[in-house]
Structure formats: C-alpha cells, structure tokens
Amino acid sequence: MSIDVQPSHVDQIKQINLGLVYGLIDQYGPISRIALSKKSQLAPASITKITRELFDAHLVKEVEFPDLGFRGRPAIGLKTDSKGWQFLCIRIDKDSTVLGLRDLSNNLIVEEELSLSASENQSFLNCLAELIDNFFSRHQSHLERLTAISVTTNGIVDPINGIIHNSPHYSIQNLPLSTFLYRRIGVPVFLQHGITAWTIAESLYGAGKGCQNIIQIVIDDNVGVGIMIAGKMLHAGNQSVVEIGHTQVEPDGERCYCGNTGCLETVVGIKNILLKARELASQYPDSLISPATPLTVELLCLAANQGDPLATEIIRGVGERIGHIMAIMVNIFNPDKILIGSPLNKAKHILYPVIQQKITQLSLPGYSQRVNLAATAFANSGTLPAASLIKQSLYSGHLLLEIMQG
C-alpha cells in the first residue's frame, strides 16, 4: 500500500463509522453511549468523538430515558434529531409525478401527485423543473433546510451517474437528470430504479425488515424483480436491474415492446391479464366478468374471492408462470423471504399457494422449505421508496458527511 492512498482510506473509515453510529442511533434510539459502543464494536473513545460531531451538527440530540442507570437515575441516551432537516422525494410514473417533502426521520410533511407530460428530454426537464418550483412556492411555509433530492422511476437508469437512459413512459433518452437538478437546486441528488428502491424500503421498514436475503417480485403493468443478497442490492451500483419481465415464456406469444415475443410481461402483466379475462369471458357465461363491460384488477380479485371460475383460472395462471421463474431464482439465490408486490395481493389466498406449490415442485427441497412468501408492506405508489435511498445514504455515512461539511 502506498502512502498517498492513506488519507482517503482514513476518510472512508471515518465515513463508515459515522454512518454506522448514526444508523444505530436512528434504529435503537434513545440509546446510551455504552450500548452504542457494544453494538458498533467501536471503542468508547471513538463513540464519544463521533456522537459529539453528530451532536454539534444537530443530527442527534440527548434525551433522558427511563432505562434505569446507576442508583435508579434515568439514563442519558441519544436520539436522531430530524427537526428542520428536509429532503424532496420524486416519483416519476406514467403521465404523472409524485412530489413529497419529508424530514430526516422520513415523516411526510407534504405530498402531491401532479400530472407530467413531456415529449422529449428538454420538455421533460422544463416540465419537471416547473412542477418543483411551483411545489416549493405553494409550500414555502413548510420549507426548512433542504438537504437532498431523491428520484425513483422505472426504466433503464444509471444510479451512479444519475442518468435515465430509457423510460417506458416518456420518450426520453440518456437524460442527465441528477446533474440538471443539482445545478438547479444545489443539493445532492439520488436516482434509482423504482423496484430497486421499493425493495430497499421493504428491507428497511417493511415486510423484509431484518432479512438479509430477499427476492421481491412486482406484478403490475410492468413485471420486475428486486434482489437483496447479504443486505446488498444486486446491481444497485450499475445500470442493470434483474430482468425477468422480458424472459420468454410463450414462444408463439404476443409481440412485446422490447422487440421479442411472448415475454413474461405480455403474459402476466396486469393490463394483459385483464384483456385475456375479457376475451375468455364469452366461454364462461356464468362468470361475473363479461366481455362487454370494463374490467379492473380490483373487480378481477373480487370475482376470484367470490369463487368465480374464470377469475380464479386467470389468477392461478399468473401464479404458475411466476412460480416457474421463482423456482429457478430460489435455486440461484436461496432467499430468506420472497415478497410479492402486486394489486393481485387482494386475491393472495388463490395466488400464493400456486406460486408456493411451483417452487416446492421445481426447486431444491432444502431451499424451498425455508422460503417464506409474503405481501410487500407498501403499495406501488407514493414516495417512501425514494425516501429509503436517503436513509441508505445516511447509514452509509455518505450523505451525513456531505451534510456535516455543509
């Protein structure tokens, strides 16, 4: 090791320790310095130094807590101090965007869904900038110290360089979104694929809390998956997501927008199963589903829950397709938990046993027996996934250091 790499190495250790201590205070606070030292395995002197720095930056505060210390006196513990620290979360969906202002503890201060329409890069940026400006001016009375911006969207995104390469919803190409927002607003910007961010949110506060190995499958208009192994997101640091939606499952199937035919998404995507249900409805005269009336996914689940044979068959069909692919993924990743994020969760007593059965039938028994299937805690909406990116960056020490260096 050469001498010149040492300063950055020391900085990196400082950053990791800072994030570790802040994360423990955030998750266990109020917590005493002694308990922090035990949990972090850092020396008491380091804890004193790090907590002093966080205290001076108004990121943590001291509180008395009833955990009895010596001679029954209340102990002094540390808690995160989120007052005044805010960040903006942006969720870019089809034809709309959700803007949410939150504090460092993730409490939502204000959130709005606004329509977004744009035909190419420049009009997209102009439209988004205008929505943000108007949002800030409408809520000026709530605004305090804005520390970061976090953006989630589906599509092909490069989180490291903050670029949206491609979007299923807008005709944008290689859009340098993070640079644009940073130049305009002057705070760090985080960008991540929507499903990846959602899986991070589930692992921090949702159905995957405490699990290190998670596969989260999303069955919506888009079909995708987020994978966390040993507490780290697979592909979080590059442009890829784990792709299952564009895996061919029907060689003679429909043409997909990706250029291939019979992709999983064309077979089990919500839009497609609703179309299929209406097409098949004429063969099921007793079904609650009719070819003539519009069908929503809520109605489909409702019908299935009432024992409707067509609705049940459609949902079982989704379970079989998904189960087939999940069985392979179970063999590759051996997860602790499989999370399912889908509007079909309303009929999960029909969907889950089919998926479970396929996994049991098709993957290694030693792996499939320990797999636990559960619904995601959060729906595919809102800005909590974007907020989890901020939390993740605080816990890694990266954003903390930026905030503290002002």
Is residue 255 near Zn ion by the rule CB under 5 A?
no
Distance CA 356, CA 68 (A): 47
Is residue 304 near Zn ion by the rule CB under 5 A?
no
Nearer to Zn ion, 253 or 291 (CB): 253
Spatial neighbors of 81 by CB under 8 A, at least 6 apart, are 58, 59, 60, 61
Got the DSSP string for 89-110?
Answer: EEEEETTEEEEEEEETT--EEE
Rounded (5°) CA angle 83-132-127:
165
Distance CA 230, CA 339 (A): 16
Pick the piece of the chain touching Zn ion (CB under 5 A) from 132-140, 152-160, 257-265, 341-349.
257-265
Q: Which of 323, 320, 301, 297 is nearest to 312 (CA)?
A: 301
What residue type is 101 in one-letter code? L
What residue type is 297 in one-letter code? V
Number of residues that bind Zn ion (CB under 5 A): 4
Nearer to Zn ion, 33 or 321 (CB): 321
Q: Which of 60, 195, 256, 326 binds Zn ion (CB under 5 A)?
A: 256
Is residue 246 near Zn ion by the rule CB under 5 A?
yes
Phi, psi angle pair for 214, to nearest 5°: -130, 135
Nearer to Zn ion, 263 or 314 (CB): 263
Is residue 267 near Zn ion by the rule CB under 5 A?
no
- Compute how many other C-beta atoms are within 10 angstroms of the C-beta atom of residue 184: 15
What is the closest distance, in whole angstroms, from the C-beta atom of residue 198 to Zn ion in the complex? 21
Is residue 218 near Zn ion by the rule CB under 5 A?
no
Nearer to Zn ion, 165 or 398 (CB): 165
CB 390 within 8 A of CB 23: no
**Cross-sheet strand order for the sheet of 96-103:** 108-115, 96-103, 85-93, 145-153, 189-193
Is residue 258 near Zn ion by the rule CB under 5 A?
yes
Pick the piece of the chain touching Zn ion (CB under 5 A) from 15-23, 100-108, 190-198, 245-253.
245-253
Distance CA 384, CA 378 (A): 8
What is the closest distance, in whole angstroms, from the C-beta atom of residue 387 to Zn ion in the complex? 31
Beta-strand runs (E) in 1-123: 60-68, 74-80, 85-93, 96-103, 108-115
Nearer to Zn ion, 96 or 248 (CB): 248
Nearer to Zn ion, 94 or 370 (CB): 94
Sign of CA dihedral 257, 260, 265, 270: positive
What is the closest distance, in whole angstroms, from the C-beta atom of residue 224 to Zn ion in the complex? 12
Nearer to Zn ion, 172 or 256 (CB): 256
Is residue 168 near Zn ion by the rule CB under 5 A?
no
Query: What residues pair up with 261 in beta bridges, in sequence order?
Result: 255
Is residue 214 near Zn ion by the rule CB under 5 A?
no
Pick the piece of the chain touching Zn ion (CB under 5 A) from 185-193, 250-258, 310-318, 334-342.
250-258
Is residue 264 near Zn ion by the rule CB under 5 A?
no
What is the closest distance, in whole angstroms, from the C-beta atom of residue 271 to Zn ion in the complex? 13
Q: Which of 263, 314, 350, 355 binds Zn ion (CB under 5 A)?
A: 263
What is the closest distance, in whole angstroms, from the C-beta atom of residue 258 to Zn ion in the complex? 3
Distance CA 208, CA 81 (A): 26
Query: Which residues ranging from 322 to 351 are in contact with Zn ion (CB under 5 A)?
Result: none
Q: Footprint of Zn ion on this chain (CB under 5 A)? A: 246, 256, 258, 263
